[in-house]
Structure 1
Amino acid sequence: MKSTPIPQPAVTVRNVSRVYGDTANPIHALRDVSLDLHRREFTAIMGPSGSGKSTLMNVISGLDEVSSGLVAVGGTAVSGLNDTARTVLRRHHIGFVFQSFNLVPTLTADENIKLPFVLAGRPMDTETRAWIAHLVRVLGLHDRLDHKPGELSGGQQQRVAIARALAGRPTIILADEPTGALDTRTSREVLSLLTTTAREYGQAIAMVTHDPVAASYADRTVILADGRIAGEYGRLDPHQISDLLIGMEVAA
């Protein structure tokens, strides 16, 4: 009987450290971090300020260089790539969703969604256009495509940002506090969309958040402290997550 091959992780982080400053006064942002992020998995990354969450996202996306260790996205090692190659890697393999939406205010929703293809000089074939039309329909944006960001609600802007992130079918979506600027009801809608994206579209998602409720939507919660992984957990409810975070603060 043939064995089923084990899928390659969307992102591999192996023994990664990131040190800032000089040798006399080093700042250890990450300390020997190892982590795999898989397709069809929604991972929440939590921890107190200064724990290394943002640095971890930056080294995955190639915005920051590792001091030691390996980061690979879609099987391609990020370390050692020059700036141009890193830009190409981000455009083809990484989708970003930000707290502040990061939409271009002078462009319509439709133009914002398609902007990554314009910047990369990538023509959109029939299959890609059909995929974007599907996303627009699922995200309820079909009657907002001609609107500019200033004419959209916060929730609509974030849905445009999610459509833009998904349009190129990236290896990983990195979401940085994606519900931080939204009200409770809209936050739940956005988190449900991210959950659906992982389960139905096979997307890998890593979300940085301080919110236990947001993290409870994830399949896995990874907690960082002092640049190290302090714990990895399966799906937890908000109270369990809060208790873990409080317990860490007490222990510190």
Structure 2
Amino acid sequence: MSLRRVSRIYGEGVGRVAALDEVTVDIHRGGFTAIMGPSGSGKSTLMNVAAGLDDATSGEVTLAGAPMTHLDDDARTTLRRNEIGFVFQAFNLVPTLSARENILLPFELAGRRVDAEQQQWIDHLVHTLGLRERIEHRPSELSGGQQQRVAIARALASRPAVIFADEPTGNLDSRSSREVLTLLRTAAREYGQTIAMVSHDPVAASYADRILVIADGRLVGDHGSLTPQEISDLLIGFEVGAA
């Protein structure tokens, strides 16, 4: 996935705000990338534009070889459905469906049959994520950590080109957070899944192997793996500089 001189502008004249300001970056295949920055820095806008949930004002966004910025709404919806997985802070599971049915929902929505190879992969995910004994339970019968694991299984099930995770541990306790972050890291390292995670949490970001820092709509930092303290110091530096 790549962004080339991507801007997202809101308003005009004195009310003009550049939520993204000519951002150029590649999200590497099989990498776990954390996107960080002060509040209002543009990190969520970056994710939304990269995922085709919001339009870039200018620049080029390419995902799975497709020029996202030149697709019409129907083609963009199809691309998102086939090539993008989402993991949200609020889990976004369908409450009337079992864990199994939630995991299979993307296939149902796309009108795709689950073949033997895909079923084997889904069974592997269910086992790896510790969901086998809870697979017929509905979300209300699962803990927060279990619900997030179902959401991760759903995102991984179709092996999309990239998974966008928006504050995926924001509603979890520390133990469940560690479990979920370890699973995301394993998905990247062992299964080659590309993951882009928006987070404000230095501990969560320390699980990633790459950290992008956004400030005032610009990409101001591109780092390898860092400790929580190093990330915290990095962010404090940008916040002090903005004050």
* TM-score interval for Structure 1 and Structure 2 normalised by the shorter chain: over 0.9
Q: Find the aligned partners of 1:171 and 1:54 in 2 and give their Cα distance.
A: 19
Q: 1:114 aligns with which of 104, 107, 110?
A: 104
Counterpart residue number, 1:48 = 38
Counterpart residue number, 2:22 = 32
Residue 182 of structure 2 corresponds to residue 189 of structure 1: no
Residue 221 of structure 2 corresponds to residue 231 of structure 1: yes
Q: Find the aligned partners of 1:240 and 1:218 in 2 and give their Cα distance.
A: 13
- Residue type matched to 2:78 in 1? V
Residue 144 of structure 2 corresponds to residue 154 of structure 1: yes
Q: TM-score, normalised to structure 2's length? A: 0.98
Q: 1:139 aligns with which of 129, 132, 143?
A: 129
Counterpart residue number, 1:5 = none
Counterpart residue number, 1:59 = 49
Q: CA deviation at 1:177?
A: 0.3
Residue 83 of structure 2 corresponds to residue 72 of structure 1: no
Q: Is the partner of 1:159 in helix, strand or coil?
A: helix
- Residue type matched to 2:205 in 1? A
Q: CA deviation at 1:23?
A: 4.2
- Residue type matched to 1:151 in 2? E
Counterpart residue number, 2:230 = 240
8 Å Cα contact 2:38/2:238 also seen in 1: no
Alignment length (residue pairs): 242
Q: Find the aligned partners of 2:219 and 2:14 in 1 and give their Cα distance.
A: 25
Q: Find the aligned partners of 1:39 and 1:80 in 2 and give their Cα distance.
A: 22
- Residue type matched to 2:87 in 1? V
Q: 2:210 aligns with which of 207, 220, 234?
A: 220
- Residue type matched to 1:118 in 2? E
Q: CA deviation at 1:21?
A: 1.4
Q: CA deviation at 1:22?
A: 2.7
Counterpart residue number, 1:86 = 76
Q: Find the aligned partners of 1:186 and 1:26 in 2 and give their Cα distance.
A: 41
Q: Is the partner of 1:106 in helix, strand or coil?
A: coil
Q: Is the partner of 2:35 in helix, strand or coil?
A: strand
Q: CA deviation at 1:209?
A: 0.5
Counterpart residue number, 2:189 = 199
Q: 1:102 aligns with which of 69, 77, 92?
A: 92
Q: CA RMSD in A?
A: 0.8
Q: TM-score, normalised to structure 1's length? A: 0.94
Residue 131 of structure 2 corresponds to residue 173 of structure 1: no
Q: CA deviation at 1:24?
A: 4.9
Q: Is the partner of 1:197 in helix, strand or coil?
A: helix
Which blocks of at least 5 consecutive residues in structure 2 are unaligned?
none
Q: Is the partner of 2:132 in helix, strand or coil?
A: coil
Q: Find the aligned partners of 1:87 and 1:207 in 2 and give their Cα distance.
A: 21
Q: Is the partner of 2:133 in helix, strand or coil?
A: coil
Q: CA deviation at 1:39?
A: 1.8
- Residue type matched to 1:107 in 2? L
Q: CA deviation at 1:106?
A: 0.5
